Amino acid sequence: MPAALLACATLKRILFIGLCTLLLPLPALAATDPCQGSRDLVVVGHMDDDLLFMNPDLLSAIQAGSCMQVLYLTASERKGGLEYMYSRERGVRAAYAYMAGLANEWQQARLMVGSASIAQFTLRARSGIQLSHLRLQDPWLGPGWGSLTPLSRAESVPGQVVQTLDSPQQSLNREQLVQTLAALIRLYRPTSIRYLDDTNPTPYTQLCWRCTGHGHPDHIASARLVREAMLAAPGNYAQIGYVDYPIQEQSRNLTLSEIHSKTEIFRRYAWHDQHACKGPAICQEPAGPAAAWVQRSYYTSRADYPASLLSDSTGRLSFFASGEQNDAINQWDVDEQRWTTLGGRTADALSAFQYPDGSPGLFARDATGQVWVSRSPDEDEWLAWQKVPGTRVLHTPLVSRHASQAIAMGTDGHFYWSAARQPDYGWSPWQALPTLAQAAYPATLSVDTQGRAHVFASNQGGQLFQTYQQANSQWQPWQAVPSPLISGGLASIVNAQGGIELYMRDRQSQHLLRLAQNPGNQHWSRPQDLGLSYVGIPALSLGEQEQVVVAIQKGPGGAIVLVDKDQIYEVEKQSASQPALYKLGGTLYLANRPIGPKQHYRLLERRHGKWVQVALTQAPPPGGGQSFSEAPAFITQPFVQP
């Protein structure tokens, strides 16, 4: 019996059998997808964490038709008991019904997931919106701040358990909590997983209320459990972490319309929370810190994304990076040594490229999966962000740097292609590639000397495949490429002879493999094991003598290693980010983010075989992030770091 059907068979006290539908694997769903291809899994510690720290993204996803499964880990009953817990649950139901624009009517069920029995509420008029409650007890295990909670103790102290507040009473240890979350991921098959900030370095017992940079122990614990569950249940889904209390210390980054809608949503919840309001007539919420939180939304940064390097038509070189403190798109001009903030709000890496006329372009992805593009027609000027029409995607598109073609994986698990149009610089709607069964991310794109796009990807079993554009612009069905089984890490480049070289991670050894294509007969060489383990995706460039140069990061926070003419040598001993390579005017450049709390980038230039540092950026400015859709028509005034 399939796992999802087995889970449905073990449901306890079922009151609404229809909820099983959304837990079936995607192929078993009806032909008309009620989720519009997107399924969000949200995991937080308390009822209201999602409303205060994850909006307006939740509202945007719901309005776009996404299904949403929200799991509240704790009973959130501090200062009360069961009745207070129930009132807060009524509050979040009211808020989600308001977001959906539907009647606040729900059906309740009990669901067995992993080791836990979970209370689940399904919105009657839209079954794709479900709120689930594990109801773990939530007192301070001491006098208050600086004390552990049951959840943070179970997460951090070996052998400890946390009990549920309601009946049936359950006791869960850390492993069982992780297993439960991993089981939910496998059953729900989300396209996005949203969680709180797991990176806060302050020990639980040293956290304090309103202290700079401090969060809540349950917020941190919930996020760490989710992060571990994702390792146990990998898949094609976006991962978005949200900063919690510390956003009050950052610049306001929501528009007035976003603040208004976020405020109204939170009030629908607060009317049911007796410690926040006494009802709609006399409710002052959001007040205190909540008044600051509804004006802001910031993402957790893992500091491991590589910067993008690109030159404009005049040969001026720039870095492009998402700001770890402002969530905006930022450009560092190497000659002027200054940052320009280009707006937008994103949690992802960026893709920089050149249009056929040499003008720079940028792709970015927002936290709902929408792709945005901008172009710089003149020096110090960027046009307003424009949507690329069509499907929502799981990751920032991969763009052929000089051919203005892009690929991405849609939230439906299929690959899509787009290209820049001439002469208006717009991008064509996303076009679906032939279906690759059980496709896995990432894929890679190369454009050959005839201008035809070649896309390489693997399935979840590790088999490597290729599709390409034919002379009539139609796509060839996927064909197997002779290769050992792989586990991602895909990158490709067209070498000086016009053949495509592929780099990938061997599934068995985890080593970097190389495959080379003969441009004359299209046959592939035997796989070459380069003997290097690495994380992420290799950076590729042609070198000074038109040879292929490969840069990798050996591990998280580890060394940057270069492969050049079959010679292997270390460039940096430690790096926070993966490397970026770029050749300009016969000179090869390498960029990376050094280890440290500030978001600096180092630029190295190879001179006579030796790497020399030629630039070290300042950190991007703290403000400037904003909605892509409300950015100015022209961004012309750079922010100069004081």
Closest to 225 measured CA to CA, from 331, 321, 322, 114: 114
Dump pLDDT digits (tens) for 412-451: 999 999 999 878 888 999 999 999 999 999 999 999 888 8
* Structure tokens that stand for 435 in this block: 């279906």
Query: How far is residue 208's CA from residue 206's CA, in Å, rounded to a whole number?
Result: 6
**Confidence grade of residue 483 (pLDDT, cut at 50, 70, 90):** very high
Dump pLDDT digits (tens) for 443-481: 999 998 888 899 999 999 999 999 999 877 899 999 999
**Confidence grade of residue 20 (pLDDT, cut at 50, 70, 90):** very low
The topology (CATH level 3) of 310-635 is: Neuraminidase (2.120.10)
Q: Is 295 within 8 Å of 256 (Cβ atoms)?
A: no
Query: Where do the H-state alpha helices sit in 211-283?
Result: 217-232, 256-270
Share of the chain above pLDDT 70, in %: 93
Closest to 88 measured CA to CA, from 46, 50, 128, 130: 46
Dump pLDDT digits (tens) for 176-215: 999 999 999 999 999 999 999 999 999 999 999 989 999 9
**Confidence grade of residue 522 (pLDDT, cut at 50, 70, 90):** confident
Helix/strand/coil percent split, the chain, to 5 = 20, 35, 50
Dump pLDDT digits (tens) for 556-570: 999 999 999 889 999
Report pLDDT for 372: 96
Whether 76 has a pLDDT exceeding 80, the answer reads yes
Dump pLDDT digits (tens) for 146-170: 999 999 999 999 999 999 999 889 9
Share of the chain above pLDDT 90, in %: 80
Dump pLDDT digits (tens) for 627-641: 888 655 555 444 444
**Confidence grade of residue 588 (pLDDT, cut at 50, 70, 90):** very high
Beta-ladder partners of 121 = 108, 131
Report pLDDT for 403: 80
User: Which residue is associated with the tokens 């370095």?
Assistant: 201
**In the chain, where are the structural domains located?**
3-249, 310-635
Closest to 376 measured CA to CA, from 199, 634, 165, 204: 634
Other C-beta atoms lying within 10 Å of the C-beta of residue 182: 21
The topology (CATH level 3) of 3-249 is: Rossmann fold (3.40.50)
Q: How far is CA 629 from the centre of its chain?
A: 19
Whether 301 has a pLDDT exceeding 50, the answer reads yes
Report pLDDT for 19: 36
Q: Is 102 within 8 Å of 126 (Cβ atoms)?
A: yes
Dump pLDDT digits (tens) for 318-328: 999 999 999 99
